[in-house]
Amino acid sequence: MQCRSGCGACCIAPSISSPIPGMPNGKPAGMRCVQLDDNNLCKIFGQPERPAVCSQFIAEESICGDNTRQALEIITQLEQLT
């Protein structure tokens, strides 16, 4: 599966403990990453300053569901379990 362009769920739902440019302490779950643009695209995609956890994310149907709403729900549930 390839990421759905403009989804952004993986940049909103999970907490990220690694520093992100503009968010030196990472981000809490449910908060939009400052690097997510108005079209829900990562501004630092492919850049070396992008956190490893972000670069290593692989879209899968079991995590991303069929649409952005499902992806947000699934990733939020996974976040709450960990």
Within 13 Å, how many C-alpha atoms sit on residue 35's CB side? 21
pLDDT digits (tens, 9 = 90+) for 3-49: 998 999 999 999 999 999 999 999 999 999 999 999 999 999 999 99
Helices (H), the chain: 52-55, 61-64, 68-81
Answer whether residue 75 shows pLDDT above 90.
yes
* Structural domain of 48: 1-82
Asked whether 26 and 32 are in contact (CB, 8 A), the reply is no
* pLDDT recorded at residue 82: 85
Mean pLDDT, to the nearest integer, of 56-65?
95
Number of independent structural domains in the chain: 1
